[in-house]
Amino acid sequence: MKQYNPMLASPADAPFSSDDWIFEVKWDGIRAISYVNEKLSIRSRNQKELIDNFPELNELKELASNTVLDGEIVVMKDGKPDFQSLIQRMQNIKPGDIVYMSGKFPATYIIFDILEKDGKEMLDIPLMERKSILKNSVKEGKFIVLSLFVENAGEDYYRAVLEKGLEGIMAKKKQSSYEPGKRSNSWLKIKQEKTCDCVIFGYTKGEGNRENTFGSLIMGLYDAAGPVFIGKVGTGFSQEYRENMKQSLDKYKTERETLTGVDMDREITWLRPELVCEVGYQTVTDDGKLRIPVFKRFREDKDPFECTIDQIRPAISDYTAKRNFIRTPEPPMTQEKGMGKTFVVQEHHARRLHYDLRLERDGVLKSWAVPKGIPEKSGDRRLAVQVEDHPLEYRKFEGDIPKGQYGAGTVKIWDKGLYEPINWEDNKIEFIVSGEKMTGLYVLVKFKKAGNNNWLLFKGSD
């Protein structure tokens, strides 16, 4: 059977409801793809064989055949996933310990997708059809279950999941294909706390009561050009845990600098970039650093090269998928940094003239097409259709998009400047604009009756 890398989800800011999506529990476990043939193989994201550590999952051979399945391995305790017990089981290598732990902390494999059946790939089949095939291809057992999902009611489901003490939900487009190894906007993870899997490149010298351990861990993520410094984390571990951590970290010491761009305010011990940790954070700063990071745990099931920058830099796969950058002069996303709260309005002479309002937020340009133009008088209202996020590079774009390309026509900047958000919620955005033509208070309000992407834009009272 062909080997697959799992499809990855992009982060979402908040829960939502939509007839076009389904919603599942986001399980706190180990992502695993299983290959069920004459021999059963269950592999983690970094291609580690897991079946030896979780022998109870061998029952999958009796419940399915000639399939490739995607799911999550969890250990449940008091009705919630217990990640520490799961990692403890991952670390067992002695046969006696493995048998004992499989009885004390049995694992459950929660299957949510099917990638192959009887030698036929399922990747391009829409998700809801794959779900139907999955249900007819796998029986449930003592340790094997199929993931349940709900349709439409994402917000209610999210609240119910949090009340159960779970970490969040997954939202998946019903018509989405399966994109191996890709972080897609067709799958979204919605959690109460933002987290990121980071590579540890070193640590700073400790001071005071940390003199014998370390100060902060130096974190990085990979982009196309190499590792990128995203900040330091110095909270989330006790003194005793830091002492044990330092012993583990020092096994990876190296004399060479392994990450550039790190501020050298303290002495640094560099490490080979082979360790992954999960870090909670509040937001991402304009210069691409994690704000208020907190260490959560090591992730031994993750490969360092899986820790990519798109975890914190919003994916613009919809923008990229619609454009052929060999033919269109429009810019791809590169490494442009945020400039604060910028805005741009572009006059777009496409099939029909319209104006594109773009607001910088979370490393991208949130975008709306305004067919009737920007309102200029207080109380004037205009329909504004939300479109795909655009890269920051687009705020400078002017030019001719050739015929046959998405959005063909002439684009020129109508206005640009800075804006200050007063209120940014799921259904309402209020902001003050300082441009040459747009000035003062503007409001965007979601117009649900007219469609999920439709908003009303109006100029507020000055």
Q: Shortest CA distance to 341 belongs to which of 368, 314, 360?
A: 360
Q: How far apart are CA 350 and CA 115, in angstroms?
A: 39
Burial-class residue 133 by CB neighbours within 10 Å (0-12, 13-18, 19+).
middle
- Beta strands (DSSP E) in 192-340 are 194-204, 217-223, 226-233, 268-281, 283-284, 290-291, 294-298
26: annotated active-site residue: yes
Q: How far apart are CA 390 and CA 397, in angstroms?
A: 11
Q: Which of 2, 26, 61, 94 is catalytic?
A: 26
Q: How far apart are CA 108 and CA 47, in angstroms?
A: 19
Cβ proximity of 71 and 109 under 8 Å: yes
Q: How far apart are CA 116 and CA 125, in angstroms?
A: 11
- Beta strands (DSSP E) in 341-408 are 342-349, 353-361, 364-370, 381-390, 399-401
Q: Which two tokens stand for residue 222?
A: 């990979």
Residues 6+ apart with CB under 8 A from 262: 201, 202, 218, 229, 268
What DSSP string describes 30-76? EEEEEEESSSEEEEETT--B-TTT-GGGGGHHHH--SEEEEEEEEEE
Longest dimension (CA), the chain: 77
Which residues are bridge partners to 420 per DSSP? 432
Cβ proximity of 195 and 280 under 8 Å: yes
For residue 186, give the 3-state DSSP assignment: strand
Which residues are bridge partners to 275 per DSSP? 200
Orientation of helix 83-91 relative to helix 95-104, angle to 10°: 160
For residue 89, give the 3-state DSSP assignment: helix
CA torsion through residues 43, 44, 49, 51, sign? negative
Burial-class residue 261 by CB neighbours within 10 Å (0-12, 13-18, 19+).
exposed
* Residues assigned a catalytic role: 26
